[in-house]
Every structure is written in C-alpha cells, then in structure tokens.
Amino acid sequence: MADRGVVVVFGGGTLAGDLFDAASAAGYRAVIVQDLDGVRQDGAQADIAIEACVADRHHKHDALAAFGSVLGPNAVLLADALPDTVAECAVWSGHARRCVGYGVVGHLDDQRVVEIARGAHTDVDAVERSAAFFADLGHETRVIGDRPGLISGRTLAALANEAAWVVGAGVASAEDVDRAMRLGTNYPRGPLAWAREIGVRRIVDILENVCRHEGAAYAPAPLLLEMAGLASGENLT
C-alpha cells in the first residue's frame, strides 16, 4: 500500500481509535499516543497531527502546546473544534498557521461529511491538506468558519438540550420525547438517545463552549448534567 505519510493521533477515546484505524486502513503510517511524552517523541515526524476529543481542557491545552513545540513547518495540526474554538486551539498550539479545526461529534463512521474549520490565521495549504486527508479516509469535507460547536456539534447539542429542558419540565418522558422526534420529524435518532450514544459529557462540553462565547442562553439543562454524571447547580456548594 502506498505510504501517504505519518499520522500521529493524541487521545484515549473512541474518536482517537476511529481516526487511527481509518488512517491506517487508508495507507498512512498511524501512531496513537496517550501522553505528552508520546506527543514530544512522535510529534516531530508527523505530517498530520491530530488532537482527538480530549475532554479535559488543561490536558488538551498541554497536548496542543506539546505538538506545537515539535511539529515540522509543513505539518498540519488538526484540533477537535467542537468543545473549543479553532481560535483557542490555535493560540494554545503556538502554531496558528498550521492549526485547523475539525468537527466529528461521535463516531467517525456516523459522519459522512466532516467539517473543516479555518482559524483567522490558518494557511490555505493546511486547510487543503486536511480536506485531502479526510478524503483519503473516505469522507467528504466542507470548509466553514470558526464558531463554537461548528454545525454538527452545535445542532445535536442544542437539540439534546432542548429535549432535556422539556423532559425536566415534566412535559413528557425522555422515551416519549425521543419517540415523538423520530416519528414527528423523521430524525434518525431521538435527541437524548443520540446524546447518550455520542456521550453526554461531550454534548455538555459543546454547550459550555457556546456559553463561554455567547452567554448563558445555551446553558446545559440540569437533566443533561445529571446524565453526564456531573453535579447539577443545586448540588454545588
């Protein structure tokens, strides 16, 4: 199989595994690293470096900074742009011209079209190479601007949140809300079941990203925080 270059994936979750598997299958020499030493060791040879769904923001910051300190001048750094904006990721990496955001909410296979998000300083060439990379993995891409949650993450998170507010208000049960949305609007999955599949914590992280930039209107419903295993406001002292 043709050698398409070296991909270094950082992350311990399912998305990191999905990207590693897909890149390997597409003929990339893929490496998965799970700590900062691994990033520093393997990052220097990466053509494509990927930060995949690192839930802890400090950890994500450190990983992007570590990548930024070792990446070659022509490497591309793909950052998960759903829980943080591309602008934030670019600053953390210290490598703004080579930093490109991407949006995959849940499993890579469940998302035929991957969003590629430009930061204000991203090189055109880095955007093109990111699109070519996902094309090699069998995905269409669309290039969009930087906005909290991009399109896929923000839509699914906002739907799950609205459903959670409605259930929390006692309007109908979670099962009935999901069933009503599938039958009444033809959604492929009910918003709450979908959020569980993706991981409710990730949905909450996306909503909090929107809140940080646009105010409290998108605050996660107490039921979502509960489902994510996070304390709801009233439990905080």
Partner 1 sequence: MGVGIAASAAAAGFDVFLVEPQAHARERAAAQIEKMLSRLLREADKAALAAARIHTVSAIAEAGEADLYIEAVPESIELKRTVFGQIDRTAPAGALLATNTSSLSVTEIAQATSRPESVVGIHFFNPPAVMKLVEVVRAASSSDESIRRAVVFVERLGKMPVVVLDTPGFVVNRVARPYYLEALRAIEAGIADAETIDAVLEGLGFKMGPCRLMDLIGLDVNLATTRSVYEATGLERLRPSPLQERMVAEGRLGRKTSRGFYEYGG
The distance of closest approach from Cβ of residue 40 to partner 1 in the complex, given in angstroms and rounded to an integer, is 34
Of 113 and 231, nearer to partner 1 (C-beta) is: 113
Work out which of 34, 37, 72, 142 binds partner 1, going by CB under 8 A. 142
Contact (Cβ atoms closer than 8 angstroms) between residue 76 and residue 90: no
CA 47 to chain centroid? 20
The region of 9-17, 94-102, 212-220, 223-231 touching partner 1 under the rule CB under 8 A is 212-220
Of 49 and 152, nearer to partner 1 (C-beta) is: 152
Gap between the Cα atoms of 129 and 106, Å rounded = 23
Contact (Cβ atoms closer than 8 angstroms) between residue 19 and residue 31: no
Interface positions, 158-197, toward partner 1 (CB under 8 A): 158-159, 161-163, 166, 169-172, 176-177, 179-181, 183-189, 191
Of 125 and 140, nearer to partner 1 (C-beta) is: 140
Residue 112 near partner 1 by CB under 8 A: yes
Work out which of 27, 109, 113, 231 binds partner 1, going by CB under 8 A. 113
- CB neighbours (10 Å) of residue 38? 16
Gap between the Cα atoms of 38 and 32, Å rounded = 9
Contact (Cβ atoms closer than 8 angstroms) between residue 84 and residue 209: yes
Of 4 and 147, nearer to partner 1 (C-beta) is: 147
Residue 128 near partner 1 by CB under 8 A: no
Gap between the Cα atoms of 237 and 229, Å rounded = 17
Of 75 and 207, nearer to partner 1 (C-beta) is: 207
Helix (H) or strand (E) holding 152: helix 152-168
Helix (H) or strand (E) holding 99: strand 99-103
Helix (H, G, I), strand (E, B) or coil at 221: coil
For binding to partner 1 (CB under 8 A), which residues are involved? Answer: 105, 110-113, 115, 117, 140, 142, 144-147, 150-152, 154-156, 158-159, 161-163, 166, 169-172, 176-177, 179-181, 183-189, 191, 215, 217-218
